[in-house]
Structure 1
Amino acid sequence: MAELLASLGSAVEGHLWRVIAEEWSASSTGEAIASLDEDQLVSTAHLINLFPDGSQLIWGGLVGYPQGSPTADIKIRAFDSTSWDVQSNDPDVWETILRLHPSAQDLTEW
């Protein structure tokens, strides 16, 4: 997850995130992830730091809010630690995803 967020770069740099972690890989950060309240918002940098050394969000999601906005503009959903769905109304996010993952597909349903 940290790799995905870092790869999105400036498109998510100032975002605050709500973490919905149903399952994550065992790691030294597991307690920190488990202690996050679903109503708590964390910065992109803090979120990246929560998942060092290959730690993974196996099932769950992230909801990203541009700083100062009450409306989310990006949602990321993890599937079995092997796949991610990214939903966003920000064209910069979509362009970045396509540049990094040319085989990405635009899903008609979430």
Structure 2
Amino acid sequence: MGVEELLTALGPLIEGYEWRLSIDWLIGEIEGSGGGWLPTDEVVRLFAARPQLVDGEVEGRRGGCAPSDVQLRASDSTSWDVRTARADVAARIGELFPDAVELTTW
């Protein structure tokens, strides 16, 4: 599951969110994000060509100056670590990935 699929699957839970990308290793290319905060639909568009985020992080927050409360970390092209302060997002991740386990460290 790629970035765009994961964000799309979270759907209304992340409505109005914006994201900051920290990419260490990407297979494929995306247009430069400029390091700023991007709305969800823009991140989905950037990853529509299905580049693989092998090592990096996607940090999300409600639009504006809210603190980030959802972090998605790719540890390889098929594995995601998710950190969130939101129980509803954690529950949705559990639905998407029934074999998910809670991490003790980030």
TM > 0.5: yes
Question: Equivalent residue for 2:66?
Answer: 70
What TM-score do you get using the length of structure 2 for normalisation? Answer: 0.90
Question: Equivalent residue for 2:6?
Answer: 4
- Say whether residues 1:102 and 2:98 are aligned partners: yes
Tell me, in whole angstroms, the C-alpha distance in 2 between the residues paired with 1:31 and 1:82: 18
**Structure 1 unaligned regions, length at least 5:** none
What TM-score do you get using the length of structure 1 for normalisation? Answer: 0.87
- Say whether residues 1:15 and 2:17 are aligned partners: yes
- Say whether residues 1:55 and 2:51 are aligned partners: yes
Large movers: runs of 4+ above 6 Å: none
- Say how many residue pairs are matched: 104
Question: Equivalent residue for 2:33?
Answer: 36
**Structure 2 unaligned regions, length at least 5:** none
Partner of 1:52: helix, strand, or coil?
coil
Inter-CA distance 31–93: structure 2 relative to 1 (3 Å threshold): closer
**Residue 31 (structure 1) shift:** 4.5
Tell me, in whole angstroms, the C-alpha distance in 2 between the residues paired with 1:70 and 1:11: 15
